[in-house]
Amino acid sequence: MGIQTVSQALSNENGGFSPFGFKNRIINGAMVIDQRNAGASVTPNGTYTLDRWYGDNSQTGKFTVQQNAGAVTPPVGFINYLGVTSSSPGYSLLTTDEFRIGQQIEGLNVADLAWGTASAATVTLTFWVRSSLTGAFGGALGNSANNRSYPFTYTISVANTWEQKTVTIAGDTSGTWLTTNGKGINVQFSLGCGSTYSGTANIWAGAFYIQPTGSTSVVSTSGATFYITGVQLEKAPQATTFDYRDHGRELILCQRYYESSYDIGTAAAGATTTGMRLLTMAVNALNSGMGQVSFLTRKRATPTILTYDGAGTVNNVSTAPNNTTLTNGRGYSGAPFLISTTGFSHQGQGSVASVYNYVHFTASSEL
Report the Cα–Cα distance between both ends of the chain, in Å, rounded: 46
- What local confidence, expressed as pLDDT, does residue 284 receive? 58
pLDDT tens digit sequence for 224-249: 999 999 999 999 999 999 999 999 99
- What local confidence, expressed as pLDDT, does residue 319 receive? 77
Helix (H, G, I), strand (E, B) or coil at 70: helix
* pLDDT beyond 60 at 12: no
Mean pLDDT score, 134-150: 98
Measured at the CA of 277, the angle between CA 273 and CA 282, to 5 degrees, comes to 100
Residue 42: DSSP 8-state: B
Could you tell me the pLDDT band of residue 18, with boundaries at 50, 70 and 90? Answer: very low
Asked if residues 279 and 348 have their Cβ atoms less than 8 Å apart, the reply is yes
- What local confidence, expressed as pLDDT, does residue 133 receive? 98
Mean pLDDT score, 55-77: 97
Mean pLDDT score, 43-58: 97
Q: Compute CA distances 322 → 155, 262, 317, 348, 351, whole Å.
A: 63, 24, 16, 15, 12
Which one, of 307, 293, 311, lies nearest residue 362 by Cα? 307
Asked if residues 242 and 230 have their Cβ atoms less than 8 Å apart, the reply is yes
pTM: 0.93
Q: Which residues pair with 359 in a beta bridge?
A: 277
Phi, psi at residue 354, to the nearest 5°? Answer: 55, 60
Distance separating alpha carbons of residues 300 and 105, to the nearest angstrom? 12
Within 8 A by CB and 6+ apart from 167, the residues are 124, 125, 126, 152, 154
- What local confidence, expressed as pLDDT, does residue 4 receive? 35
Distance separating alpha carbons of residues 10 and 49, to the nearest angstrom? 35
* pLDDT beyond 90 at 137: yes
Could you tell me the pLDDT band of residue 11, with boundaries at 50, 70 and 90? Answer: very low
**Within 13 A of 133's CA, how many CA atoms are on the CB side?**
23
Q: Give the Cβ contact number of residue 79 at 10 Å.
A: 12
Question: What are the residue ranges of helices labelled H in 229-336?
Answer: 247-255
Distance separating alpha carbons of residues 244 and 236, to the nearest angstrom? 17
Asked if residues 35 and 268 have their Cβ atoms less than 8 Å apart, the reply is yes
pLDDT tens digit sequence for 308-352: 988 898 888 887 765 666 665 445 556 899 999 999 988 766 656
Mean pLDDT score, 260-278: 93
Distance separating alpha carbons of residues 113 and 172, to the nearest angstrom? 9
Domain range summary for the chain, segments of one domain joined by +: 6-255, 277-364
Pairing of strands 98-106, 198-199: unpaired
Asked if residues 34 and 67 have their Cβ atoms less than 8 Å apart, the reply is yes
- What local confidence, expressed as pLDDT, does residue 33 receive? 98
Rounded to a whole number of angstroms, the CA Rg of the chain reads 23
C-alpha torsion 236→124→77→102, nearest 10: 140
Lowest mean pLDDT, pick from 15-24, 135-144, 339-348: 15-24
Fold of 6-255: Jelly Rolls (2.60.120)
Lowest mean pLDDT, pick from 127-136, 226-235, 277-286: 277-286
Lowest mean pLDDT, pick from 2-16, 76-90, 178-192, 200-214: 2-16
Q: Give the Cβ contact number of residue 329 at 10 Å.
A: 12
Q: Which residues pair with 81 in a beta bridge?
A: none
Asked if residues 293 and 275 have their Cβ atoms less than 8 Å apart, the reply is no
- What local confidence, expressed as pLDDT, does residue 210 receive? 98
Which one, of 82, 104, 101, lies nearest residue 32 by Cα? 82
* pLDDT beyond 70 at 184: yes
